[in-house]
């Protein structure tokens, strides 16, 4: 006999998890109980050891479809005295609230919706306890119809019966609705409602027009993804020349036609979160190249609301395309539109037709975006379907004061934390836009009240020009500054459940260094409270101010050495003579010039020097093209011969990236292929990171490495870095569900602040 206490973290509430545990325990003749603790489910089970083992395995392997177990903690405990296994009602642990993310429509509801004999035939708001909106319709906790957007829709007798019937799939399903009592869809600026509105929308899409459609967490702009003219029109109207659009495909078979879908990818693409998954395109697909110009990749997602399914299939005789562009309906950098007023103001000029509905969206949630790496999600934007699930750090359980972390400037998210649980928010936007700052303020208030966390301190990035810095100051709370790259590393540690010292490799575009220079290629010795900068890539001059961040040719010019700089720059096609001379003048006279260790800029420079991208039209474009070129080389299995470059070190470890750049340029001038050199650059950088970490280990005795920062969105680099580090016996911490980019730093800020507060008490 043995007794165990098991804590299960993840989506384990409102998804039938406790009845499942109950059945499983009875199957293996175990006694004990299961109870909700707010952010986790606690299970105490007694029985024969081998039965406990099987129970433990099946607990995760056979969990209900909509459950998603992120973490299981278990320990042996005192024997449990009691008869049968029971589901216990219990108080939530104080300070830890669980708000469910929105869940994609389930298979049972989808079938009913297309069943002519069902009373919810073609109802655009069908849902059940396994599926439907959650966070985005919530006014207040506890989660109850009265405190959601469904308050304005009193249940009809038939819905009420299902809602109160324990044997019904809709028992206690708060957003329950039907044709008689549920919300209605309608066209903005037209009298068309219900079926007529849906038909008009489908007609418009078929005709190559641009539509806006209200979804779960905001409006989408939508058009036929198999129609080149329609996609071009959307690009023109949205003034978005080449940034990729996500495409919603009708079903898995269509996804299969368009992209490579290994098993792990299918699981993520079709999971209850229904994120956008970045995939490798297949030859012969029907989605036009204009959705992602110059890229071998495409971001696909499956329909996740009843209305999406009705866009693809409706009994109106139209033959709809099976792939639709679905891009956030927002002005660039601003938050996604969620109300009719916002849609009228900002989407009406872009869309020929706007389909809305009267179920209010309370909290915005953009689509989440992920890659699949090593069999699981590797998040780029963590939003709908994931937010606001908490990250748990039990070692900080005793930090009782609420913490608010306001995040960074681009891809802003914020994070609330208390008692060792940290709740990263959905995507907000780029803080350069005043509407994003308003949205941040409003969403912080809403989430703080939903999660019952009253912030006692605010953590922020000390960059003087960040709008989040002034927002933090405006709150009138004690403020804790957390350096940008430290926040990246702590976010990575936190997602791996760690707070102890690591070697942090923080590579990104830009972050404010403690010496006032631009950092972005840092080796840190860090724990969750503090850090020392023990190394970096070789500093270079970044001239041209704001423009240097978009124009890789300017960085490349700054990195060129020797006599014949102008001639080389001309041969590489970095610019015309006038531009080159003007930029050289800026560099020589240190006008508008900062010292930088940004690896993001280094990628831009290499991309420009190889003729792949001289000027980026969206953030990360140059790096994306460089990665694509490198993958084209490695996918053929070609060997990558890269130079051996020694580190220089006098207390501070320096990765010789300038020498690496010269090597790439020299090989380019002597005729090596662009894709080979792109691969050489990736492999060399991975090699340098490996050497840097070995030097750091020699220096500090620490042999765990955390990899974070936007550069690690590059999965080719990540793979090679991981393989180098593994060979050298390092323990590696990397991201999974928290983005490596600036969308992840709020978590790091919050954890750092909580850890520092704990230290004080």
Interface residue list for Fe ion (CB under 5 A): 508, 511, 742
Nearest-angstrom CA–CA distance, 299 and 304: 15
Nearer to Fe ion, 112 or 742 (CB): 742
Closest by CA to 31, choosing from 10, 15, 48, 45, is 45
Tell me which DSSP letter residue 281 carries: B
Residue among 159 and 354 whose Cβ is closer to Zn ion: 159
Contact 93, 39 (CB under 8 A): yes
Q: Are 248 and 213 in contact (CB under 8 A)?
A: no
Contacted entry of Fe ion, Zn ion, none for residue 310, CB cut-off 5 to 8 Å set by kind? none
The three-point CA angle 410-411-417 to 5° equals 110
We find the least distance from the C-beta atom of residue 711 to Fe ion, in angstroms, to be 9
Residue 466 CB, shortest distance to Fe ion, in Å, is 11
DSSP-based three-state secondary structure for 303: coil
Which of Zn ion, Fe ion, none does 551 bind, CB closer than 5 to 8 A by kind? none
Task: Report the partner that residue 696 touches, choosing among Fe ion, Zn ion, none (CB closer than 5 to 8 A by kind).
Answer: none
For residue 261, the partner it binds in Fe ion, Zn ion, none, with Cβ less than 5 to 8 A by kind, is none
Give CA–CA dist 389/426, Å, rounded: 10
CB of 744 to Fe ion, least distance (A): 9
Partner interacting with residue 331 (select from Fe ion, Zn ion, none; CB below 5-8 Å by kind): none
Nearer to Fe ion, 281 or 484 (CB): 484
Q: Name the binder of 59 from Zn ion, Fe ion, none, CB < 5-8 A by kind.
A: none
Q: Which is nearer to Fe ion, 244 or 511 (CB)?
A: 511
Residue 219 region by backbone torsions, left for phi larger than 0, else alpha for psi between -120 and 50, else beta: beta
Name the minimum Å distance from CB 128 to Zn ion: 3
Token pair in block for residue 575 = 């610019």
* Residue that the structure tokens 């639709």 belong to: 324
State in angstroms the smallest separation of the CB of 269 from Zn ion.
19
Least distance (Å) between residue 409 CB and Fe ion: 9
Closer CB to Zn ion, 127 or 598, in the complex: 127
Cβ atoms within 10 Å of 224's Cβ, excluding its own: 26
Q: Tell me how far the alpha carbon of residue 128 is from its chain's centroid.
A: 26
Cα 591–chain centre separation: 37
Nearest-approach distance from CB 724 to Zn ion, in angstroms? 46
DSSP 526-579: E-SS-EEEEEEEPPEEEESGGGGGT-HHHHHHHH--STTHHHHHHHHT---HHH
Burial class (CB within 10 angstroms; exposed 0-12, middle 13-18, buried 19+) of 263: exposed
Nearer Cβ to Zn ion (136/741):
136
Q: Which is nearer to Zn ion, 151 or 547 (CB)?
A: 151
Indicate the burial class of 256 (C-beta count within 10 angstroms; 0-12, 13-18, 19 or more): middle
**Partner from Fe ion, Zn ion, none binding residue 604, C-beta < 5-8 Å depending on class:** none
Binds 322: which of Zn ion, Fe ion, none (CB < 5-8 Å by kind): none
CB of 488 to Fe ion, least distance (A): 6
Q: Which is nearer to Fe ion, 174 or 412 (CB)?
A: 412
131 binds, among Fe ion, Zn ion, none (CB under 5 to 8 A by kind): Zn ion
Shorter beta-carbon distance to Fe ion: residue 40 or 519: 519
Please state the closest distance from residue 511 (CB atom) to Fe ion, in A: 5
742 binds, among Zn ion, Fe ion, none (CB under 5 to 8 A by kind): Fe ion
Q: Which residues of 339-372 are buried (b: 16+ CB within 10 A; e: fewer)?
A: ebebbeebbeebbbbbbbbebbbbbbbbbbbbbb
* Token reading at 114: 């297309």
Nearer to Fe ion, 535 or 710 (CB): 710
Strands 421-424 and 455-460: unpaired
Question: What distance in Å separates the CA atoms of residue 618 and residue 395, rounded to the nearest whole number?
Answer: 40
**128 is in the binding site of which of Zn ion, Fe ion, none (Cβ under 5 to 8 A by kind)?**
Zn ion
47 binds, among Fe ion, Zn ion, none (CB under 5 to 8 A by kind): none
Distance CA 728, CA 93 (A): 42
Partner in contact with 577, chosen from Fe ion, Zn ion, none, beta carbon below 5 to 8 Å by kind: none
Please tell me the distance from the alpha carbon of residue 674 to that of residue 324, in angstroms, as a whole number: 34
Nearest distance in Å: CB 132, Zn ion: 7
Q: Which does 508 bind (CB under 5 to 8 A by kind): Zn ion, Fe ion, none?
A: Fe ion
Of 106 and 696, the one with the shorter C-beta distance to Zn ion is: 106
Q: Least Å distance between CB 210 and Fe ion? A: 34
- Interacting partner of 180 out of Zn ion, Fe ion, none (Cβ under 5 to 8 A depending on kind): Zn ion
| Closest residue to Fe ion using C-beta atoms | 508
Q: How far apart are CB 108 and Zn ion at their closest, in Å?
A: 5
Comparing CB distances to Zn ion, the nearer of 131 and 210 is 131
Residues 6+ positions from 77 with CB-CB distance below 8 Å: 3, 4, 5, 44
CB closer to Zn ion out of 119 and 571: 119
Partner whose binding site includes residue 102, from Zn ion, Fe ion, none (CB under 5 to 8 Å by kind): none
Residue 716 CB, shortest distance to Fe ion, in Å, is: 19
Alpha-carbon Rg for the chain in angstroms? 27
676-to-107, 607, 620 alpha-carbon distances in Å: 46, 13, 21
Closest distance of CB 520 from Fe ion, Å: 7
Which of Zn ion, Fe ion, none binds 753 (CB below 5-8 Å, type-dependent)?
A: none
Asked if 337 contacts 330 with a C-beta cutoff of 8 angstroms, the reply is: yes
Residue 204: how many other CB atoms lie within 10 Å: 20
| CB contact at 8 A, 544 and 554 | yes
Residues found near Zn ion in the complex (CB under 5 A): 106, 109, 128, 130-131, 156, 159, 178, 180-181
Closer to Fe ion at the Cβ: 483 or 607? 483
Q: Give least dist CB 102 to Zn ion, A.
A: 12
Q: CB neighbours (10 Å) of residue 184? A: 15
Query: Which one, 183 or 511, has the nearer CB to Fe ion?
Result: 511
Q: Measured from the CB of residue 424, what is the shortest distance to Fe ion in angstroms?
A: 15
Beta bridge partners of residue 487, listed in sequence order: none
Can you tell me which residue has the tokens 């922020």?
460
Q: For residue 603, give the nearest of 509, 535, 513, 680 by alpha carbon.
A: 509
Give whichever of 103 and 396 is closer to Zn ion, judged by the CB atom.
103
Q: Do residues 733 and 704 lie in contact, with contact meaning Cβ atoms separated by under 8 Å?
A: yes
Tokens (6 digits) for 514: 């403690």
Tell me how far apart the alpha carbons of residues 349 and 122 are, in angstroms, rounded to a whole number. 30
Is 588 within 8 Å of 647 (Cβ atoms)? no
Minimum CB–partner distance for residue 153 and Zn ion (Å): 8
11 or 222: CB nearest Zn ion? 11
């Amino acid at each position: 006999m043995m007794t165990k206490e098991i804590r299960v973290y993840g989506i384990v509430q409102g998804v039938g998890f406790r009845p499942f545990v109950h059945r499983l325990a009875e199957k293996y003749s175990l006694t004990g109980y299961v109870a909700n603790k707010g952010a986790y489910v606690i299970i105490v089970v007694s029985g024969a050891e081998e039965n406990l083992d099987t129970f433990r395995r099946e607990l995760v392997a056979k969990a209900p479809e909509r459950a998603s177990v992120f973490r299981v903690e278990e320990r042996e405990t005192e024997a449990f005295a009691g008869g049968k296994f029971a589901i216990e009602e219990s108080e939530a642990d104080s300070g830890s609230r669980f708000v469910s993310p929105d869940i994609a429509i389930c298979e049972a509801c989808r079938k009913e919706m297309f069943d002519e004999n069902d009373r919810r035939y073609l109802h655009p708001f069908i849902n059940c306890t396994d599926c439907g909106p959650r966070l985005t319709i919530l006014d207040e906790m506890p989660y109850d119809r009265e405190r959601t957007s469904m308050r304005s829709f009193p249940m009809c007798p038939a819905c009420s019966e299902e809602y109160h019937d324990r044997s019904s799939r809709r028992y206690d399903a708060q957003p329950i609705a039907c044709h008689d009592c549920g919300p209605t869809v309608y066209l903005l600026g037209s009298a068309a409602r219900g079926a007529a509105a849906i038909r008009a929308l489908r007609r418009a899409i078929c005709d190559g027009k641009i539509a806006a459609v209200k979804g779960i967490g905001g409006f989408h702009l939508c058009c036929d993804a198999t129609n080149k003219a329609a996609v071009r029109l959307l690009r023109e109207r949205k003034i978005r020349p080449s940034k990729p659009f996500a495409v919603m495909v009708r079903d898995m078979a269509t996804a299969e036609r368009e992209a490579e879908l290994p098993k792990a990818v299918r699981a993520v693409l079709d999971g209850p979160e229904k994120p956008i998954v970045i995939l490798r395109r297949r030859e012969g697909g029907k989605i036009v190249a204009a959705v992602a110009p110059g890229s071998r990749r495409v971001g696909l997602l499956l329909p996740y609301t009843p209305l999406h399914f009705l866009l693809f299939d409706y009994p109106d005789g139209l033959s709809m395309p099976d792939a639709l562009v679905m891009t956030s309906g927002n002005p660039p950098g601003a938050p996604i539109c969620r109300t009719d007023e916002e849609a009228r103001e900002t989407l009406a000029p872009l869309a020929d037709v706007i389909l809305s509905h009267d179920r209010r969206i309370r909290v915005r949630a953009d689509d989440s975006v992920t890659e699949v790496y090593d069999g699981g999600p590797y998040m780029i934007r963590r939003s709908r379907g994931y937010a606001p699930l908490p990250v748990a750090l039990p070692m900080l359980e005793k930090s009782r004061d609420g913490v608010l972390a306001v995040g960074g400037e681009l891809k802003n998210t914020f994070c609330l934390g208390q008692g060792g649980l940290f709740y990263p928010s959905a995507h907000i936007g780029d803080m350069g836009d005043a509407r994003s700052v308003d949205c941040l303020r409003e969403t912080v208030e809403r989430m703080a009240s939903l999660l019952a966390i009253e912030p006692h301190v605010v953590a922020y990035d000390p960059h003087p020009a960040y709008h989040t810095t002034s927002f933090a100051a405006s709150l009138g709370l004690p403020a804790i500054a957390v350096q940008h790259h430290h926040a990246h590393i702590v976010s990575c540690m936190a997602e791996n459940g760690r707070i102890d010292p690591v070697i942090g490799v923080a590579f990104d575009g830009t972050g404010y260094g403690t010496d006032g220079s631009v950092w972005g290629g840092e080796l840190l010795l860090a724990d969750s409270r503090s850090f020392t900068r023990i190394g970096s890539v070789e500093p270079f001059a970044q001239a041209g101010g704001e423009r240097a961040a978009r124009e890789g040719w300017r960085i490349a010019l700054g990195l060129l050495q020797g006599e014949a700089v102008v001639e080389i720059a001309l041969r590489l096609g970095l610019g015309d003579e006038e531009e080159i001379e003007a930029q050289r003048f800026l560099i020589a006279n240190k006008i508008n010039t900062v010292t930088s260790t940004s690896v993001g800029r280094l990628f831009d420079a290499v991309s420009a020097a190889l003729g792949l991208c001289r000027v980026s039209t969206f953030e990360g474009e140059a790096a994306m093209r460089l990665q694509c070129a490198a993958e084209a080389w490695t996918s053929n299995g070609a060997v990558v011969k890269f130079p051996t470059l020694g580190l220089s070190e006098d207390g501070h470890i320096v990765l010789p990236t300038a020498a690496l750049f010269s090597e790439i340029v020299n090989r380019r001038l002597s005729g090596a292929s662009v894709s080979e050199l792109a691969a050489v650059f990736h492999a060399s950088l991975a090699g340098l990171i490996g050497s840097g970490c070995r030097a750091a280990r020699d220096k500090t005795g620490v042999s765990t490495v955390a990899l974070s920062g936007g550069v690690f969105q590059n999965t080719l680099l990540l793979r090679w870095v991981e393989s180098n580090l593994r060979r050298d016996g390092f323990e590696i911490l990397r991201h999974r569900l928290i983005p490596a980019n600036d969308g992840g730093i709020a978590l790091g800020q919050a954890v750092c602040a909580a850890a520092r507060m704990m230290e004080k008490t």
